[in-house]
Amino acid sequence: MLTIHAADEVRLSWDDPEPVRDGAVVVEGARVRAAGPLEELQERFPGARVRRWPGVLGPARVHEGPLPDAPTPRERVHGVLKSGATAVLEDHAGTPELCAAAERNDVVVLAGPRPPAIVDDGRADLAVFDATGTCVATVCAGRLVHRRR
């Protein structure tokens, strides 16, 4: 299923000096198919479902510190997803229980930090942040895993 995630502003990387206004990212399965102006993408992908998000849409982040405190490994990983991150560093997810919880939720465990970016045919890891910096939505490997109500 094709889904277009649209926002007031889309950044292909968080260092991107030129965000796309009224932009969008097309996701099919776990992959990004395209990114650009919403109007153009709706013409290229007719019939795709459109999800509109308030705020700025960009690549999901890498959680570089200890995972949030929670009673279970699953809840700790969910805390990461709620923050707009879909990857964690191996140094902070070193227990077998945390690694298993990350794997079950498609959270990537990285050996070291890397700059996140939205690229065609790349993994569909996206996050939307409102004006206060609060994560509104997280898409991990193409699945909506967090939505703030």
**Residue-level length of the chain:** 149
Q: Please indicate, yes or no, whether the overall pTM of this predicted structure exceeds 0.85.
A: yes
Residue 149 confidence (pLDDT)? 74
Domains defined along the chain, listed by start? 2-58+118-142 (2.30.40.10), 62-110 (no CATH)
Tokens linked to 6 = 């649209």
> How would you class 147 by CB atoms within 10 Å of its CB: exposed for 0-12, middle for 13-18, buried for 19 or more?
middle
What is the per-residue pLDDT for 16?
84
Strand, helix or coil at 41? helix
Structure confidence at residue 121 as a pLDDT band (50, 70, 90): very high
The pLDDT value recorded for residue 17 is 84
Q: Render pLDDT for 47-90 as a digit per residue (tens, 0 to 9).
A: 999 999 999 999 999 999 999 999 999 999 999 999 999 999 99
pLDDT at position 6: 98
The pLDDT score that the predictor gives to residue 65 is: 94
